[in-house]
Amino acid sequence: MATQSTEQNSGPGKLSLHKDEKGLLYTKLNTGAVLPAIGYGVGGVSWSRSGDAKAKKLEECIEVAVRSGCRHIDTAAIYGTEPQVGNAVAKLIKEGVVTREELFITTKLWHERHGRENVRPALLESLAKLNMDYVDLYLVHTPFSTVPLHETWEGMEEIHMEGLAKAIGISNFSLKKLGDLLPRVSIRPAVHQIEVHPGWRNDDLISHAHANGIVPTAYFPLGGARPEFEKLWENETVKQIAQKVSKNPGQVLLRWGLQHGCVVLPTSENPERIKGNLDVADWSLSEEDYDALCRISPQKKRITFQNMLSDNGPFKSFDDLWDEKLEKVNGRM
């Protein structure tokens, strides 16, 4: 692939970004594979719909994303969206829009399927739903399980060696859990998918990933879609910067994510926003604007997995689950 190196960034770790001859912004995994830097997440789409209407809308959104140049799709077994990803991808390939090799497809192992011997059957189920022979990336979706994480990771290494997942990685791990796991692995994770946006900068995990040759990918790069969350794109600082740089607030948040050292995984149900969210490669935020976004307060984690807590254990508190506080004092850490 002919490439051209691009730009800087000023976050807690440098994401090495490049552009190919078609203008696709990408970074490289520790496997050598190309990871497109702006993905399309299918975890948050169409919550307002159900059944066939949801499935149809999802497939349309994926099509819009790929036809607009997106080459990276993030799904998971627990989202229930693998069949729609499979249908949309099959249609796009059949119509000659894209080849399978040009796409980067991620899916994830849910924590109820942890354990070395459970990984392969879980991935085979996902592959059947996706109607694919392999995924580009398979992630351990969460570490919230009583099965020792290194045992599950052995199963991940096996499916990677078998070629069912071109790369393997993790999501929602803490520094403590990484400290336990990494000395025991034969194959290092290629990706760590974590919550990252200006309201939860996650500097320590991003620094850790870069220091260990792991690419951090940002979920909730726009602050997340749930109604109970403050809409980050309506934040005054975000809006003012958007006006100043003549971009929309969502684009400012995504550009911040890239400069913060992460691949970004936004979701939208809106065709114009799906296209616009890909237009964050050819401009950058000034150091001043980047810093202003870093100072957004409070620093509060939005995804908590509260349903995992139980007085009977094994996770009795958020501290047990995440090994850290869910809220931090504002300011650069």
Ligand X SMILES: NC(=O)c1ccc[n+]([C@@H]2O[C@H](COP(=O)([O-])OP(=O)(O)OC[C@H]3O[C@@H](n4cnc5c(N)ncnc54)[C@H](OP(=O)(O)O)[C@@H]3O)[C@@H](O)[C@H]2O)c1
Question: Shortest gap between Cβ of 266 and ligand X (angstroms)?
Answer: 4
Of positions 145, 277, 284, 299, contacts ligand X by CB under 6 A: 277
* Window of 84-92, 114-122, 236-244, 264-272 that interacts with ligand X by CB under 6 A: 264-272
Q: Is the peptide bond before 12 cis (omega within 30 degrees of 0)?
A: no
Of positions 88, 122, 181, 265, contacts ligand X by CB under 6 A: 265
Cβ proximity to ligand X: between 198 and 221 the closer is 221
Pairing mode of beta strands 40-41, 34-36: unpaired
Q: What distance in Å separates the CA atoms of residue 64 and residue 216, rounded to the nearest whole number?
A: 25
Cβ proximity to ligand X: between 3 and 243 the closer is 243
Cα–Cα–Cα angle for 111, 30, 11, nearest 5°? Answer: 85
Nearest residue to 102 via CA among 136, 146, 58 = 136
> With binding defined as CB under 6 A, does residue 224 bind ligand X?
yes
Instruction: Report the site for ligand X in 52-81 (rule: CB under 6 A).
Output: 74
Question: Shortest gap between Cβ of 3 and ligand X (angstroms)?
Answer: 26
Nearest residue to 248 via CA among 232, 264, 224 = 232
> With binding defined as CB under 6 A, does residue 36 bind ligand X?
no
Of positions 104, 153, 219, 290, contacts ligand X by CB under 6 A: 219
Of positions 28, 56, 150, 273, contacts ligand X by CB under 6 A: 273
Phi, psi dihedral angles at 296 (to 5 degrees):
-60, 135
Of positions 3, 131, 243, 270, contacts ligand X by CB under 6 A: 270
Burial label for 207, CB within 10 Å (0-12, 13-18, 19+), is middle
User: Residue 111 annotated as binding?
Assistant: no
Task: Give CA separation, 183 vs 143, 158, 177, in Å.
Answer: 16, 18, 11
Binding site for ligand X (CB under 6 A): 41-44, 74, 141, 171-172, 193, 219-225, 233, 248-251, 265-270, 273, 276-277, 303
